[in-house]
Amino acid sequence: MSDASHEAARASVERIFHDERGRVLAALVGVFGDFQIAEDALHDALVTALERWPVDGVPRNPGAWLTTTARHRAVDKLRRDRRVAGGDEELVRLPAPEVVADEMDAMIYPDERLKLIFTCCHPALAQEAQVALTLRTLGGLSTEEIARAFLTPCAHHGPAPGSRPAQDPRRRNSLRGPGTIGRW
């Protein structure tokens, strides 16, 4: 593949990723209930897309392809982690990721972004953290871009002291744990 066509394919993947990121991330958070697992799986799917799409071409439904690939990566990682930890009981409930490419193109994934907005705006979080999390998760902005929007230095950007649920005894049980939000 020539450098020009490789760069064109890369630009196409980046544009599609930018357009589909919020929807795919929301679907993954809805399935796994954990931001970190969802973001890791989404980035694994992006790497796979950057490797495969220039060779195989862009799928007919790139959002469904990213969602399915990311879901498969997350399930594989969770199974691997469970095996290392010695338990598989939680993963028995997850459907096996057996989907062929033609079926993947025909799949329709529900748009879970509105639910993710409400999750990002959980009352246990400080208002500044709610806005920053929403911009980062659904808007695709970087931490530096969000810090500039808040007119604060990037290193200082974050929740105010005492605003985290673990630091406020009244809010301690309002979230299940770091990164987890439960199933919706």
Domain of residue 39 covers 1-110
Single residue among 62, 81, 110 that ends a domain in this structure? 110
What CA–CA distance (Å, rounded) separates 60 from 74? 23
Task: For residue 94, give every residue at least 6 positions away whose Cβ sits within 8 Å of its Cβ, in sequence order, or none.
Answer: 75, 78
pLDDT averaged over the chain? 75
* Claim to verify: residue 137 and residue 104 sit in the same structural domain: no
Distance CA 50, CA 57 (A): 10
Taking alpha carbons only, the member of 16, 61, 67 closest to residue 45 is 67
> Mean pLDDT, to the nearest integer, of 47-61?
90
Tell me how many helices (H) and strands (E) the chain has. Answer: 7, 0
Whether 92 and 1 map to the same domain: the answer is yes
In this predicted structure, the answer to whether residue 94 has a pLDDT above a threshold of 80 is no
Q: Across residues 142-160, what is the average pLDDT?
A: 70
Quick one: pLDDT band at residue 67, thresholds 50, 70, 90?
A: very high
Same domain? 17 vs 4: yes
Sign of the alpha-carbon torsion through 66, 70, 73, 79: negative
Across 32-36, 80-84, 153-157, the highest mean pLDDT is recorded for: 32-36
CA distance 41 to 32: 10
**172 or 39: which carries more pLDDT confidence?**
39
How large a percentage of the chain has pLDDT more than 70? Answer: 69
Q: Which two tokens stand for residue 13?
A: 């993947």
Is the pLDDT score of 113 beyond 90? no
At 162 the pLDDT is 41
Cβ–Cβ under 8 Å, residues 58 and 12 = yes
Residues 101 and 19 in one domain: yes
- Residue that is last in its domain, among 71, 87, 110: 110
Question: Could you tell me the pLDDT band of residue 132, with boundaries at 50, 70 and 90?
Answer: confident
Q: How many CB atoms lie within 10 A of CB 26?
A: 25
Give the Cβ contact number of residue 34 at 10 Å: 21
